Chains A and B, each alone.
Chain A
Amino acid sequence: MEKQEQIMMEARKISRCFPVAQGEDFYALKDVSLQIPEKKLTILRGRSGSGKTTLMNILGALDKPTDGQIFFDGQDITGWEEDACGLMRRKKVGFVFQSVALIPMMTAYENVEYALRLSGYEGDRKERVEECLRMVGLSARMNHMPEELSGGEQQRVAIARAIAHKPRVIFADEPTAELDSGTGLQVVKIFQKLVQEEEATVVMTTHDVGFMEVGDKVFELEDGEIISER
């Protein structure tokens, strides 16, 4: 069963070190290797400082490893230029950040539509935007500015934006961290729905042990190393 599973991404022995004062290096990731399965909800769990966000940024080509290799959809993207990564991201990747990261001068609708503009979405943009906002339950408030929305609503807009252009992978960094548990659960439910209905691959980080059950695959990180895999 596990063998038949398609691999979306793979990290091979990656390390990420940040130079700290006094010449000492701080390793956020140490020799991490893992595989992210396609069309599954993968959870990276760990306490804050465990390296999970760094790992996710590297997987999503937002950051580069100091050592090791990254494969995305079968391609080695380790040495890619920043702009090439950008072009890949706009087509194949969607991001949801821990702190709400909507573009402040755009309405909910425009935020979602902007992702479609960027990815060069071929179809009817209006229809797709409305569909995505409906999916996250925000059709009624789509012409509001981000600042007029609550935290949970903003997070759901961010999700709608992340999925709008039908990316291969959606990365969600602590999407529930700033939400109350009810809203958090709602958000996670959306991800589950995405995996099932849109056949998306979702990678989500969380420090919350409660969400471990919902993941198809769970990696547990501590001090830059994977300590368990399930």
Chain B
Amino acid sequence: MLDFVIQKMLNRKWIVLCLLVGNILLVGIACCNPMYMDAVQQKTLNRNMSNYIIEKNRYPGTISLSAQLKINGDKNTAEQFTAARDAVKTMQKELPVPAVMEIYHYCIPKMEAQTDYTYNGEQVRKKLTVGYLQDLKDHVKMVSGEFYRDEAGEDGVIDAIISQKGLVSQKLLVGETLTFMELRDKKGDPLRVRICGVFENSEDEDLFWVNSPSSFTSEILISEKIFNDNFVNYEDPAYEMRGTFYLLLDYEQIRGANVETLLSRTKEYVNEYSQISSVTFRSLYQNLLEEHQTMVRRVVSTLRILQVPILVLLAAFIFMVSRQILEIEKNDIAILKSRGASKKQLIISYLIQGSILAGIGFVLGIPLAIFLCQMFGSANSFLGFVQRSALHIRITPGVLLYGLAAVVLSVIAMTMPVFKYADLTIVEHKQKQSDKKKKVWWQKYFLDVLLLAVSLYGLYSFHNQQELLVQRVTEGGALDPLLYLSSSLFIIGAGLLALRIIPLFLTLIFKLGKKRWNPSWYASFLRVLRTKNKQYFIMVFLTLTIALGIFNAKSARTINEGEEERISYAIGADVVLQERWSDEEEPEEGSETFEDEEDPDEENQGEEGTDGEGGAQQEEAEPEQISADDYTEPDIEKYSSIENVVGVTKVYTTNDATISVESTVDAEEKKEVPGGDKKKQNENREQEGWGQQQIMSQNIQLMGIQTKGFGETAWFNEELLPTHWYYYLNAISQNASAVLVSSNFRDELGYQLGDELTYRTVTGQSVKGMIFGFVDYWPTYQPTETETADDGTKTVKNRYLVVANLQKLQNVDGVLPYQVWLRVDGSTQPIYDFIGDKEIKLVSFSDRQADLIDMKNEPIIQGTNGILTVGFIVVLLLCGVGFLIYWIISIQSRALQFGIFRAMGMTMRELMVMLIGEQLFITLPAVLMGTGIGLLASKLYIPLIQIAYQTAQSPLPSQVESAGSDIVKMFIVVLVVVGVCMAALGWLISKIKISQALKLGED
């Protein structure tokens, strides 16, 4: 049987090869999704984790269990700590990621210590924490003095070391002795401690220092043995004591496969320990991983949705090619049947054939998948690639599973058509040949109309619940896949429908010139019109290829440009930076502690946040009155000297300016109030009500600009406003108090052009402005803001914008810190160099180019570009292969016919013209229809696809991009494919010998 099958396959090597190509592609495409996801997951996980290290200076794999002992506790101190320690050991066993380090830190916080000297007649006292870190010796280097001894000295004084920072901030000296009146040693005497040395970390990058040495500002460290002897191993806890057990998990070992387990275990711990008030459990990675999981779910669902049409097309391709093969082999089948082969034997023989092909497809498909994944990883736009660091691709069990699924699918697709043919005997076969006029099944059951209806329903329901969908996606939820699939359904449905229309159209042309067509064209027309069922295969593929290509190109372009625009809009210019204007001490790097425990002012152990951000001190306490006197204006001119910088402008922006708004008032009265007496308003604001009206202070975004410079520097899409935005700039440049305001001033608050508006700046000054224009969009301006309350409910809040002249604001407020916006022509690197060289201290810095590159590197964008491109190439490849199969079969099966034409005196040239005519009548309408369908589908469905990419709510209107150059690129590719096919066919035809062809007919 096997020999027979292999022989049969060899006899049909070309078409079998085509089938094999289909199989390889199917496995490749099916496998590259899980493969890519695995690789990307690994890459982003590692990147997020190492970014975390850079940004937070903390090891993201850290978990900690902190046990708090109260004085009136009834348990043995040592036992309690041992229990917590054992719990951490258990975690280490339970968690799927190995630990790289364990760190124990015991301490008695904030005890009063007396120094030996007095100041102003009083004994100087300090609050110091006494603690120890296990294995400290291996991780420190003594800057001065020496490391502590494990025994108390002869005088009973204990050695202690302190960090450099601690030494300075506590104003201590090496060799100084401190007495802790409340701490007793074993003999019951007050504990005496001598500072014997100053330490720093022995290596720069030492995981041991979960809290860096410089964060030990008020802690002295003593020997573990002494600590335990004196404080821990007692029957009753005598002091408030804390033991913290850190477990550092190797974050590089966190993989797609174990993230789920790691997260769920971690959450169990969080739940478990949240019920025990004396124990606190924290993990740094939980948020990171949860965000990561959300991202992965989004990417997976999005990519799958983009992939489905390709997979469906591939399966259909394999099915159709198999049918074509059977069409050629049906004579053989009928003969085999008449010679006594059973249906079962026939099916088995085809099953073997299918399995061989699918097996080879599996073996070759996986390397192809690896290649495709690398392509995904370097995709930058539709049909555009860049050099990027290669993805680390692994063949996971999931990949093999997908591959196997593809193989099974393919074997089914290849064997299914056999059932129909295996029933035929030679007689039935001859009879079958004569009912060619039968309608194809999809037309008989109106599948095309059905598909279109379903897809249009999807579109309809999308329009009805658009806002809900946007909200769901921004919350990280996935979309209903059916809604997405509707674009594919539409393309397929419309493609099939086109097949009803194309013949009608061709018939019309044929009838118009029936008398005049030359023999070649006449034969082409008749061939295409009378045997149309045979051409559906190739026409469907052509139509779908073109339609899908256009759709993919436009989707990719729209998604990429939409994202680019969103980022550019949000930043406002190529580079936006703000220098540090005051000399206030900046928070020193690394001084943050893992937990807030070292914070001297607070007793907040019980309510420590779970966000792992510990003692971030950057939240500036808002001073009541901001004054320009606190700041010194830096020189801004220096920026224009930087290479590549072509525009510099000052932009003052704040969200803390206010206007007064009345609620429950109608528009007419509303606008009276802002202009009213300021004092009165202030009083009224304090009160609960003022008659029926309530006046509230509404925060606004106030922007002070230099109109000319702003126009030259800011990034703004001129199509966003009804007229060019320069008109708006010009309008306010003429009048110092002219302002532009957001449209909601008009729509919500009832202002009109020319109205006077009073707003309060951050210094509390009231400023009058004349409204010269309403804008829906303005660089950086987000019209609405979604606020999430603690209970998870979201409210959408309007944001108000006032754009005024910078000069005017500075006249009122003085010069307050403003941003510098730069327009850059070329690389932004010189700016980084400049800032580095001049040691300019920045409060904020945004680089549009860098953000755009980051965006392109986002897995969802990268994967989308990759899959749209690869999908298109695959479809094109299929189309080319399908095209070749169709024509090879068509020409081989028509050898006799060509013989007749030749015998009747047709020249080779006329024969070629006839074939070109056929090509034209098949290809041209299919290409035209495909183009039309692609354009229509893009118009209807791209806004729907775009929803999936909205990471943040974008204020910008969605707009389907034209992607003209991409479409041209695609047509060139199609043309090349058709051209290559034609060349191959010409060669094939020229090999046909008439006399042999006619002989063929005799058999």
Q: A217: CB under 8 A from chain B?
A: no
Asked if B820 CB lies within 8 Å of chain A CBs, one says no
From residue 74 to 88 of chain A, which have CB atoms closer than 8 A to chain B?
A: 82-83, 86-88
Is B902 in the interface zone, CB < 8 Å from A? yes
Taking chain B's interface residues, is the majority helix, strand, or loop, or is none over half, making it mixed?
A: helix
Q: Select A104's contact among B897, B902, B904, beta carbons within 8 Å.
A: B897
Give chain B nearest CB distance to A73 CB in angstroms.
Answer: 15
Docked CA distance A82–B899 (Å):
13
Instruction: State whether the Cβ of B909 lies closer than 8 Å to any Cβ in chain A.
Output: yes
Across the interface, do B526 and A87 meet the contact criterion of CB distance under 8 Å? no
Distance in angstroms between the alpha carbons of A106 and B904 in the assembled complex = 15
| Contact status A118-B908, CB under 8 Å | no
Enumerate chain B residues within 8 angstroms of A101, measured Cβ to Cβ: 896, 899-900, 903, 998, 1001
Known: A97-B1001, A103-B523, A118-B519. A62 touches B994 (CB 8 A): yes
In Å, the complex CA distance between A79 and B433 comes to 42
Q: Is the CB of B908 within 8 A of A89?
A: no
Out of B518, B519, B526, B905, which one reaches A93, CB within 8 Å? Answer: B905
- Report the bound CA distance from A147 to B566 in whole Å: 65
Assembly CA distance A62 to B904 (angstroms): 10
Interface residues in B897-921 (C-beta closer than 8 Å to A): 897, 899-909
A194–B1000 alpha-carbon span in the complex (Å)? 29
Contact with B along A101-143 (1 / 0, CB 8 A): 1111110001000110111000000000000000000000000
B149 proximity list for chain A (CB < 8 A): none
Query: Within 8 Å CB of B527, what residues of A?
Result: 105
Bound-complex Cα distance A90 to B910 (A):
12
Proximity bits, A58-76, B CB within 8 Å = 1, else 0:
0010110000000000000
What's the dominant secondary structure at chain A's contact region? helix
- Pick from A89, A102, A147: contact of B903, CB below 8 A: A89
Task: With both chains docked as a complex, state the minimum distance between the C-beta of A23 and any C-beta of chain B, in angstroms.
Answer: 20
**Chain A residues near B899 (CB, 8 Å)?**
101
In the bound complex, how far is the Cα of B714 from the Cα of A131, in angstroms? Answer: 85
Q: Let me know if B904 and A89 touch, CB within 8 A.
A: yes
* B905/A89 in contact, CB under 8 A: yes
Q: How far apart are the CA atoms of A62 and B900 in the complex, in Å?
A: 11
**Roughly how many angstroms separate A83 CA and B905 CA in the complex, as a whole number?**
8
Chain A residues, Cβ within 8 Å of B998: 57, 62, 97, 101
Does B434 make an interface contact (CB < 8 A)? yes
Complex CA–CA separation, A60 to B1002 (angstroms)? 17
Closest B residue by C-beta to A167: B905
CB pair A90–B1001 under 8 Å, yes or no, is no
Does any Cβ of A come within 8 Å of B522's Cβ? yes
Q: Is A186 on the interface with B (CB-CB < 8 A)?
A: no
Partner of B908, one of A60, A82, A97: A82
- List B contacts of A90 (CB < 8 A): 904-906
Complex contact B907–A114 (CB within 8 A):
no
Closest Cβ neighbor of B522 among chain A residues: A117
* Chain A hits for B531, CB < 8 A: 105
> Is B735 on the interface with A (CB-CB < 8 A)?
no
A62-B995, A114-B522, A148-B434 given as contacts; is B907 within 8 A of A103 (CB)?
no
CB-based contact A98/B1002 at 8 Å:
yes
A211: min CB distance to chain B, Å: 19
B905: contacting residue among A86, A105, A106, A148, CB under 8 A: A86
- Complex alpha-carbon distance, A98 and B899, angstroms: 13
Question: Counting CB contacts under 8 A, is A13 at the interface?
Answer: no
0/1 interface trace, chain B 755-766, chain A, CB 8 Å (1 if under): 000000000000
Q: Are A103 and B994 in touch, CB under 8 angstroms?
A: no
Residues of the A chain whose Cβ atoms lie less than 8 Å from the Cβ of B902: 62, 86
Extra contacts besides A90-B905, A114-B522, A115-B904 (11): CB < 8 Å: A62-B902, A87-B905, A99-B1001, A102-B900, A103-B900, A105-B526, A114-B523, A114-B904, A117-B518, A117-B522, A147-B433
**Chain B interface residues (CB < 8 Å from chain A):** 433-434, 436, 518-519, 522-523, 526-527, 530-531, 896-897, 899-909, 994-995, 998, 1001-1002
What 9 A-B pairs are tightest by C-beta distance, nearest first? Answer: A90-B905, A89-B905, A105-B530, A83-B907, A63-B995, A86-B907, A117-B519, A95-B903, A99-B1001
Name 15 A/B residue pairs within 8 A (Cβ), A-sorted: A57-B998, A60-B903, A82-B907, A83-B909, A86-B908, A98-B1002, A103-B897, A105-B526, A106-B526, A114-B519, A117-B519, A117-B522, A118-B905, A148-B434, A161-B904
Mark A residues whose CB is within 8 Å of B. Answer: 57, 60, 62-63, 82-83, 86-91, 93, 95, 97-99, 101-106, 110, 114-115, 117-119, 147-148, 161
